[in-house]
Amino acid sequence: MPTIYRAGETTRNVYQRPIDAHLVKRVAYDESPAHVGPLRNSVDIIVPVGTPIRAAQSGRVVDLKVDSDVGGYTKEFDLLGNFVEIEHDHGEFSEYEHLKAGGVISSILLAWKDKKKRDHIFVKKGQIMAYSGATGWLGSERLGPHLHFMVGVYPNGNLNAYRTLEIRWEGASDPVTLPSL
């Protein structure tokens, strides 16, 4: 039976920072025009292009895009961003967006290209799996290159109804606020 989530709920899983703290310039929760409605619990982690991104929780890669080298500050760039999506316990899905063109590590990318292996690509919590970029809709020039990170669910398995959850962060005194950098 799938886990039932209600609006305003936090993740059941606890997530680590997807980027090492010493590499982060700053964190933004509400500066992007995309962080509204079902995406309101997203977080932007501002880092230079090429910063290593770690899996925030162990899970199975369920979707990715790596072929774009285009990004910009208007919504027309929305579908041009590179990303990795990972399925975790409790029906939670994390997404890592604005990745560098070709910025997913080769073991994941090679397995993804083999359609027989796609259902068997797993990452471990803390594993470097990609590199940050500036692809897709970046939201605003104030943000610049960054990792857009979110954790959410697909209610009743509806792929068109994704909505984010408040993220419970590892090591945070307030479990839904990213630990101090």
Q: Which amino acid is at 133?
A: G
Contacts of 76 (CB under 8 A, 6+ apart): 137
pLDDT tier at 141, thresholds 50, 70, 90: confident
> Mean of the pLDDT values across residues 164-171?
91
Domains and CATH numbers, the chain: 10-169 (2.70.70.10)
User: Where is pLDDT greater, at 159 or 8?
Assistant: 159
How far from chain centre, in Å, is Cα 156? Answer: 21
Are residues 132 and 49 in contact, defined by beta-carbon separation less than 8 angstroms?
yes
Q: What is the pLDDT of residues 88-138, one digit of tens each?
A: 999 999 999 999 998 898 889 888 888 888 889 999 999 999 999 999 999
- For residue 56, give the nearest of 26, 24, 13, 27 by alpha carbon: 13
CA gap 113, 160 in Å, rounded: 25
User: Where is pLDDT greater, at 114 or 5?
Assistant: 114
pLDDT tier at 176, thresholds 50, 70, 90: low
Q: Which amino acid is at 83?
A: F
pTM of the model as a whole: 0.89
Whether pLDDT at 5 is above 60:
no
Give whole-number Cα distances, 54 to 11, 27, 163, 171, in Å: 18, 16, 22, 16
Q: What is the pLDDT of residues 146-159, one digit of tens each?
A: 999 999 999 878 88
Bridge partners of 43, per DSSP, are 149
Whether pLDDT at 177 is above 70:
no
